[in-house]
Chains A and B, each alone.
Chain A
């Protein structure tokens, strides 16, 4: 017994180090595998608060560019609206609100990273603004990421530039779909994998989200084909996609939620359970 106590006393620093290192290691592994059960995130009052103070100061520096981006988006949406013929009837607007499957919440990015292999963003909205885990985040130009953790007033978003991130995407022209992943190299290039060789791929083809995953509505812009490659005998293409969103300067974003998402998920879950 005495020997055990002596052992602990003699090695107390090493044991303390080993314990704390073990905790950090578990937290790290945790963040690499189960992204939804993260323990330590920037969505809390301390880091969220400090980031929003910082953001309220630095917002002014790129105000001009942000205004341009939003004006361009307004322009695009206005074109859509006028050409769809919905503009003159106010009734259409009313019924749209009642019947819309997708609802949007606006938010501002208060912290952004793009230089690591696992990047995250922090938003100034949280569960008080009816945000939910797994909501899709889009910018005026395209897809940004997925909400992975929430506090009352802040949300942490897994960026599309995160090696854990997987988004279902398809060709706008042909509906061939694959998975969008990131190799961690360039902040404007992501990879589209699992596109079968039957698909015809041309440089500059537009890639949009696929409605299958219930996170993003179908048809949200992602990017265009930058270059592609298929080895002889491979069944799938390796495609590099150039993102439409400039992830290094994203500021105003929208969060999408789908009214039917819980129902669809439940249905899919029952089917999976039956198959097992």
Chain B
């Protein structure tokens, strides 16, 4: 069981990176809006999993995306940040019960899932675009990019959770 979960996460890690760099980075909807799906790895990382491992894996995930995009370390910073705040957001969106073994993200009520995704995506994108643009004068551009990309990313993540969740297990 344990090795199965590790395998699933490895496959998910690679698939999300490939989908991100080969498909979603080239959407350029309305000229500048690109959705980001790779944070989904951090969002649905096993709830009981090691926190330190998650932070480290998020760093590797972000850095790989940065390598493909030539963007320095902006994705790594954003990923590490949401990996670190994940327990707080989980507690806020699902209540303390997430620490018990009963909860699975894919079986929680949809509204709670969406709130969780929206909060995480918002923090991720905010951090990402602030680091990427890195200029206080462009604060409006940062907020605009966060909002539009964020809506797009949230929709894509909700759809992929709905499509790929295994309710029967």
The distance in angstroms between the C-alpha atoms of A25 and B70, with both chains bound, is: 14
Residues of B within 8 A of A40 (CB): 63, 66-67, 72-73
In the complex, the chain A residue whose C-beta lies closest to that of B81 is A21
Whether, in the assembled complex, A108 has its beta carbon less than 8 Å from a beta carbon of chain B, the answer is no
Residues of A within 8 A of B157 (CB): none
Using C-beta atoms within 8 Å of the partner chain, give the interface range for chain B: 35 or more
Whether B80 pairs with A32 at a CB distance below 8 angstroms is no
Whether B55 pairs with A20 at a CB distance below 8 angstroms is yes
Whether, in the assembled complex, A153 has its beta carbon less than 8 Å from a beta carbon of chain B, the answer is no
Residues of B26-75 contacting chain A, CB below 8 A: 28, 31-34, 51-52, 55-56, 59, 62-63, 66-74
* Residue total for A at the interface (Cβ-Cβ under 8 A): 40
Whether, in the assembled complex, A47 has its beta carbon less than 8 Å from a beta carbon of chain B, the answer is yes
Whether A116 pairs with B81 at a CB distance below 8 angstroms is no
Whether, in the assembled complex, B117 has its beta carbon less than 8 Å from a beta carbon of chain A, the answer is no
A70 CB to nearest B CB, Å: 23
Residues of B within 8 A of A17 (CB): 55, 80-81, 83-84
Whether A26 pairs with B73 at a CB distance below 8 angstroms is yes
Contacts A27-B66, A47-B68: A13 and B51 contacting too (C-beta < 8 A)?
yes
Residues of B within 8 A of A118 (CB): 70-71, 132
Whether, in the assembled complex, A101 has its beta carbon less than 8 Å from a beta carbon of chain B, the answer is no
Q: Within the complex, which residue of B22, B62, B71 is in contact with A116, where a contact is CB–CB below 8 Å?
A: B71
Whether B67 pairs with A31 at a CB distance below 8 angstroms is no
Whether B73 pairs with A27 at a CB distance below 8 angstroms is yes
A residues neighboring B (CB under 8 Å): 12-14, 16-17, 20-21, 23-32, 38, 40-42, 44, 46-47, 50-51, 54, 111, 113-118, 120, 122, 156, 184, 186-187
